[in-house]
Structure 1
Amino acid sequence: MGKRASGEGTISKRIKDGKVVGWRGGLTVGHDEQGKQLRRWVSGQTREEVVRELQARQRDLHDGKLNPRSGTTLGQYLDEWLNHKEHRGIRPNTLRSYRDSARLYLKPHLGRVSLEKLSPRDVEQLLVKLRKAGKSPAVTNYALQVLRMALKRAVHLGIVPRNVAVSVEPLRRERAEMSVWTAEQAQAFLNTSRTHRLHAAYYLAVMSGMRRGEILGLKWKDIDWEGRRLHPRQQLLEVRRLGKEGKRHAGRETISSTSIELGVLKTAKSKRRVILSPGTLARLREHQAAQSREKEELGPDWDDEGFVFADPFGKPTLPRTFYGAFRQLMDEAGVPRIRLHDLRHTAASLMIQQGIDAKVVSDRLGHADVAFTLRVYTHLYEAQREEAAFDLDDLIKKGKGE
């Protein structure tokens, strides 16, 4: 056998029962993340036929028409995408939610499907299966969202020609009724919490609409007493991480650890100035004085990390501790039970009732833009819509002082 021509790749005989029944050829089209060769194989009845096929593949590879990742399954690609997101510094809990969605919903149903053969119909069937399994529209749509994000990168890298998940419509969701307290209920809760060591934190939540992580991550240096404002700079996160690979309990990967970490704020707009009312400032002063007494009593055992809402030993208050006290105080106050995040909605509701402009509400809450605020709280602006209906005579009378 002579020397192989350029582009022939690896060619070998296919032998069965001692006889040559055909020829097989392989061509290296790329390498994976570990440097292992990615190969394409062709076969034919004669050596010349295989040579022609390999040369055609070589031309396609040179012209960018040949996908080096052919044969990669969606499950394999999702693992690669998740590792990419982790190395890009995505927030730990966001990464965990991506991993959970891929592990629980995407890979069990579509993990073995070849990435290049994945079709919109496959994705639609995934949504049907998840709904039949009793998963909520929110969970199902989130799985679709994660798949769309993963395939978007695959298109960008040239692994697949199009994002097949984009053409699949998410499930329709009924907007859940927002749970908020009235001003009277909020007052009842704050009156009940008056003697609790975290009263100032709950008061701040109701008056400012700050997120739980922003409140618990707040440090004394973030408060401008003279300017009557504070500047959220970080948030306190409860981060859950998976256990060792292969370690499972009840059919699921185990959680190896839960840690408390300071992380970046949720959005760029979260880095804002929060103006404080005189009442809020007064409660923060009272809280500072009470913390100074705790620090003095504990002495060297106080671990001073500068947190405004520290635990009795100076360390940050755990989110679950903050929520546990919240539930207990709600029961004592006799107010409807709501989520801790609903204090943020309550704050927005109270601001809107005061006639505060949507742009100001958006800035105070740290929303990405005012359009988001209007979408979330559109039903709360009904009173303003009614006031927008007026007659020209009303303006003329007002101008004349009538």
Structure 2
Amino acid sequence: MGPFRTRAEVEAAVRAEILRTSLGGLPCAYKVTVAEYFQDWLVRNKPRLVKNSFEDYARIIDHLLIPAVGELKLVKLLPPHLQALYLVLGAQNMVANDLVPAITERLAATRTHGGARKLQGTWQYPLSAKRIRKVHAVISSVLTDACEKGLIVTNPATHTGLPPVAKEPPMMWTQARVDAWRETGQKPAKVMVWITEQCVAFLHHLAEVGDRYFALYQLAMSRGPRCGELLGLRWPDVDLNAPGSLTIQGTKTERSRRTIHLGQANVVALRHWRHAQQRERERSGLLWTHSGLVFTDPWGKRVSRHTLRERFLHLSDEAGLPPIRFHDLRHCAASLTLAAGADMKIISDTLGHSSYAFTADVYTNVMPYNDHQAAEAVFTLLGREPA
């Protein structure tokens, strides 16, 4: 009879022996656990992944997937296991089948409640549908690799249902919405965008307090680079000769690799910042970290996203402005560029969106100027003038 119960186990064992060298010495396929394969995948793929992407993959694998189903044999991982994981991630308390209670208990150590922020290794529950889809994308990518190497026949992630992502288009902070927010404390939508006057007020406040990252915030608000793109920007990729430009090497997709023109105000602000950074370097001496990054802390080290975001929230509150997230400065850049009369295709290229259609779809609700002009144009055609 042999040690195998089924023909599938025999075939998996043969494939594993053939591929054992390429897998860095992992045991036979039918003995490889989910934890072993996913950790091996992380090691093999670290060189090709951007730092932020690798860290996000590692968090998902080490703190969500492995605690939940890591002890399972890879060949035994089924769609119901992943479905149960996603159900747990999407709810505080859920008992849908026998798998869910076990996964809930295993993930207990990674949970944080009471509105706490996401920390290294901990997650605020429930996860959003968008975040669950990110978790799924990571899992699916690794399992696709396992399929290509012949360790599993099919990818169980392809047969797993996912929660729908509700589209939340940006909304402008009109005066009426600001008044309602001040009265109730409730934001009208998750994604809010400052109008032009609010953007101007924020920059004026930064100038008044002499904030060290004035150039960063102005660049984010006027040209819309992503947070990761700003924090990973290096001086060799910045041209401060008029009219000025910067080259984004790309952190997400092929279209995210692009050149953005700065505008004179950004050129001036970045020149001032470069001089300030040079003075900090001279004062720090041997303590300075030669990172080559444009935006650094007082010792030349990379600025953390958390630090930048917390600082932004503090500054906007200090300026008396309604709340937006740091990422929403990107939406401010799009709405300001629209108001200036730029074509949607240019805005899509500047922001590095995956497609023009995505840009047009997202920013339908942040076109008050264009919509106002269109409304007046319609009445002009109808021969109706204001009374």
Residues 1:345 and 2:304 are matched in the alignment: no
Sort the Cα spacing of 1:73 and 1:183 in 2 relative to 1 into closer, same or farther, 3 A. Answer: same
Matched, 1:160 2:161: no
CA offset digits 1:299-330 (Å, max 9, x no partner): 96795956544444555555554444423321
Relative distance call for 1:122 and 1:380 in structure 2 (3 A) is same
Q: Which residue of 2 aligns with 1:193?
A: 206
Structure 1 residue 292, shift from structure 2 partner? 6.0
Within 2, Cα distance between the matches of 1:97 and 1:314?
A: 24
Contact 2:246 2:262 in 1 (8 A): no
Aligned to 1:118: 77
Deviates more, 1:209-218 or 1:352-361: 209-218
**Residue in 2 that maps onto 1:281:** 267
Contact 1:206 1:344 in 2 (8 A): yes
Alignment gaps of 5+ in structure 1: 1-7, 11-25, 39-68, 235-263, 398-402
Question: 1:171-210 CA distances to partner (integer Å, 9 max, x unpaired)?
Answer: 1233343122111111111000002232222112111112
Q: Tell me which residue corresponds to 2:38.
A: 78
Q: Identify, as 1 or 2, the structure richer in strand.
A: 1
The 2-side partners of 1:118 and 1:292 are apart by 54
Residue number in structure 1 paired with 2:194: 181
SS at match of 1:231: strand
**What is the CA–CA distance in structure 1 between the aligned matches of 2:41 and 2:355, rounded to whole Å?**
29
Name the CA shift for 1:138/1:226 in 2 (closer, same or farther; >3 Å).
Answer: closer
Deviations for 1:262-302, whole angstroms, at most 9, x for unmatched residues? xx644433332222223333333444555566677x49679
Amino acid at match of 1:77: Y
Aligned to 2:314: 328
- Kindly indicate whether the alpha-carbon contact (under 8 Å) linking 2:244 and 2:264 is maintained by their aligned counterparts in 1: no
- For 1:90 and 1:135, how far apart are their aligned partners in 2? 28
Aligned-residue RMSD, C-alpha: 3.8
1:271 aligns with 2:257: yes
Kindly state the Cα deviation for residue 140 of structure 1 after the two structures are TM-superposed.
Answer: 3.1
Aligned length: 313
Paired residue for 1:20?
Answer: none
Partner letter of residue 231 of structure 1? Answer: L
CA distance in 2, matches of 1:208, 1:339: 16
In the alignment, the residues of structure 2 paired with residue 99 and residue 357 of structure 1 have an alpha-carbon distance, to the nearest angstrom, of: 39
Q: 2:66 aligns with which of 70, 95, 107?
A: 107
Name the TM-score, length of structure 2 as normaliser.
0.66
Gaps of at least 5 residues in structure 2 are 4-9, 95-103, 105-124, 169-189
Paired AA for residue 70 in structure 1 = Y
Cα separation, 2, equivalents of 1:299 and 1:97: 32
Q: Which residue does 2:342 correspond to in 1?
A: 356
Q: Distance in 1 between matches of 2:256 and 2:298?
A: 28
Q: In structure 2, what is the Cα distance between the partners aligned to 1:382 and 1:82?
A: 46
Structure showing greater radius of gyration is 1
Q: Deviations over 1:23-48 (max 9, x none)?
A: xxx9973434454774xxxxxxxxxx
- Write the deviation string for residues 331-387 of structure 1: whole angstroms up to 9, x where unpaired: 221112322222112111222233422211111112233233234334335875787
